Homo-oligomer: A and B are copies of this chain.
Amino acid sequence: MNNKKELLTAPVDELRQLGRQAFQGLGLTEPAAQKVAQVLVLADLFGLTTHGLSRIESYGERLESGGISATADPLVETIAPAIARVDGRNAVGPLVGMAALEAGIELARQFGISLVLARGSNHFGPISPYAYIAAEQGFASIIGSNATTTIAPSGGSDARLGNSPLGFGVPNPDGNHFMLDMAMSVVARAKIRNALKAGQPIPETWATDAAGRPTTDPRAALDGFLLPIGGHKGYGLALVVDLLAGLLSDAAYLTHVKSWVDAPDEPQNLGHFFILVDTRRLGSSDWLKARMTDFASILHQSPAIDRVAPVLVPGEIELQKMQRYLQEGVPVDAATRALLDQYASRTA
């Protein structure tokens, strides 16, 4: 990817429409394209640009080569009163994710809590958009996906598990939702690439070399594996996400997950899980608002080590960016915009 990106800004409605048209141009039906655009534009609104509309590049490539099915419709099946299973049928990830989220919200509304397990899916974007959509309707969420293997097991020396994303949302009825969206590695590979470019060593907690030994050399690290947060703790957490998202969902897991970089034209059979809780079953909206506001306030009142960097609660950065971008327009890089325009022009 180009680091010197020219940024254009556009009103959110224009981007939603353009995103929908682009995915229609790639063969999706209008309602399917609309859902995919909804997730990706939310990512851009939260400032998660690497997981927003810029994904049109990889999604588009795989849709064009048949690695992802443009026409598949995810199949939702209820397998216990409060559990649904989604067979994504190799549809675009955010379409599978939205089918799972909607099924989960419906079940949690009935039973208080629900579990949805998805298989036959692909990269479903970041987790915050799903957590946000759930929180706006009063649902707390625990959401995860497995991923292509990039991490070695603790004590091991080859990549056998993914840098699986795990996310959480807890609604505040006043809109200041708690949202945490994290992968299991200490840092993303991009940070190691930046250190290499800058000619700087990296902390030995970031990555290992190809033999699985912690290294401070960014070049050796790029040939090796990302290290999970907290050593065996992050390793364990990454396994939990894969057990829920991959193993229990009947999707692929660990090394069974295909790489979309090495094999873009093959189905990945990724899995996701969604646990949703209807907070209105737990207390009134006023009760929840008072507690969530107090919770954030206690954290904010911790004296900042650095006066210019007050304590933050997860989700605040994303929601503040959203407020700003809704008013000022959403930044999208020029290359993404050009690709969106190109695919969208097919529907004209």
Contacts and interface: CB of A to CB of B under 8 A. Distances in A.
A28 interface: no
A123 to B, nearest CB: 21
Given A247-B291, A254-B299, A298-B160, A281 B80 contact: yes
A63 interface: no
A211 interface: yes
B229 A233 contact: yes
Interface stretch (A36-44, A107-115, A334-342): A107-115
- A-side binding surface: helix, strand, loop or mixed? mixed
A113 B80 contact: yes
B82 A299 contact: no
A115 B115 contact: no
Contacts of A212: 305
Contacts of A298: 160, 254-255
A110 B110 CA distance: 14
B170 A80 contact: no
Nearest to A204: B203
26 contacts: A79-B281, A81-B81, A83-B113, A83-B282, A85-B282, A111-B111, A113-B114, A140-B243, A140-B244, A142-B275, A152-B302, A155-B302, A155-B304, A155-B309, A157-B302, A157-B305, A158-B302, A170-B240, A180-B236, A180-B237, A180-B239, A182-B233, A186-B230, A211-B305, A248-B279, A275-B275
A303 B156 contact: yes
A286 B235 CA distance: 26
Interface of A: 79-83, 85, 110-115, 117, 140, 142, 152-158, 160-161, 168, 170, 178, 180, 182, 186, 205, 211-213, 229-230, 232-237, 239-240, 242-244, 247-248, 250, 253-255, 275, 277-279, 281-283, 291-292, 295, 298-299, 301-306, 309-314
Contacts of A247: 170, 291-292, 295
Residue with the highest number of chain B CB atoms closer than 10 Å, among A79, A81, A255, A305: A305
B180 A248 contact: no
| Copies assembled | 2
Contact of A111 (B82, B158, B186, B282): B82
A232 to B, nearest CB: 8
A112 B281 CA distance: 18
Nearest to A280: B80
Nearest to A140: B248
A283 B250 contact: yes
Contact of A304 (B112, B157, B281): B157
Given A212-B305, A250-B283, 7 more contacts: A113-B115, A115-B277, A155-B306, A157-B305, A178-B240, A180-B236, A229-B230
A243 B299 contact: no
Given A82-B113, A299-B254, A155 B281 contact: no
